[in-house]
């Protein structure tokens, strides 16, 4: 009986904190996630006769998948992720790429350590937008390279280059040297034409 009362009081305390943090805009989202994690790990939500699926929308005001993502982000990235999220919307994928640039409560922007505070919001947003653009470009390049047509063409070109390089490394007659040089010039000319066509 005493244990149930104690657990109920503890649940009430976590719920109160969580709701209070949830009301203070986004500034306490890390603390909010911490409260929700404690409720989930302790299983104290069961005192209300609810499953975790039912508890989340009724008491946290969020769907269970959304709450689970918040807790996962807290566990993987810590509170800094949430502080950065208060300044600029940032996906976990982008944040993972930025982790090497983050030290404590600061982020490396162009070689300068900048505090993750609202006063530096403009600089931080620009840095994150740059990172997003780089991620998008890398993704598009990977998709192009992964396309069967490009991959097949690259494989055939690699074979041609390797064969030509092997031939250039052998002892050749004067006629073969002239022919091979002509082939290289011919290939370079056509590749240049294709490059210009792509640019246009």
**Per-domain boundaries in the chain:** 1-77, 87-146, 157-199
How confident is the model at residue 148, as a pLDDT?
Answer: 67
Burial class (CB in 10 A: 0-12, 13-18, 19+), 109: middle
Integer angstrom CA distances of residue 129 from 32, 88, 90, 123, 135? 27, 9, 9, 10, 10
Strand order in the sheet with 112-115: 102-103, 106-109, 112-115
| Cβ neighbours, 10 Å, residue 47 | 14
**CA-to-CA separations, 82 to 26, 36, 73, 116, 132, in angstroms, rounded:** 8, 15, 8, 10, 18
**Which pLDDT belongs to residue 130?**
87
CA distance 34 to 147: 43
User: Per residue of the chain (200 residues), what is the pLDDT tens digit?
Assistant: 444 444 443 445 445 544 444 433 334 478 888 888 998 998 888 888 889 999 888 888 889 999 999 999 999 999 999 989 888 888 888 888 888 889 988 999 888 999 999 899 999 999 888 888 887 888 787 776 666 677 778 888 888 888 888 888 888 888 888 888 998 898 898 888 888 888 65
Stated pTM of the model: 0.55
Give me the pLDDT at residue 167, please: 85
Sign of CA dihedral 82, 86, 90, 95: negative
């Amino acid at each position: 009986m005493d244990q149930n009362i104690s657990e109920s009081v503890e649940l009430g305390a976590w719920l109160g904190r969580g709701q209070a943090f949830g009301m203070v805009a986004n500034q306490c989202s890390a603390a909010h996630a911490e409260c929700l994690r404690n409720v989930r790990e302790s299983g104290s939500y069961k005192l209300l006769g609810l499953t975790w699926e039912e508890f989340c929308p009724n008491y946290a005001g969020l769907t269970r998948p959304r709450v689970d993502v918040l807790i996962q982000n807290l566990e993987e990235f810590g509170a800094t992720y949430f502080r950065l999220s208060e300044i600029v919307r940032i996906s976990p994928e982008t944040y993972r790429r930025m982790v090497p640039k983050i030290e404590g409560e600061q982020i490396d922007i162009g070689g300068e350590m900048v505090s993750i505070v609202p006063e530096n919001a403009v600089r931080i947003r620009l840095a994150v937008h740059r990172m997003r653009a780089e991620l998008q470009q890398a993704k598009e390049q990977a998709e192009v390279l992964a396309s069967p047509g490009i991959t097949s063409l690259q494989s055939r070109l690699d074979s041609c280059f390797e064969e030509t390089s092997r031939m250039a490394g052998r002892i050749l007659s004067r006629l073969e040297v002239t022919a091979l040089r002509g082939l290289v010039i011919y290939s370079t000319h056509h590749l240049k034409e294709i490059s210009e066509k792509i640019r246009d």
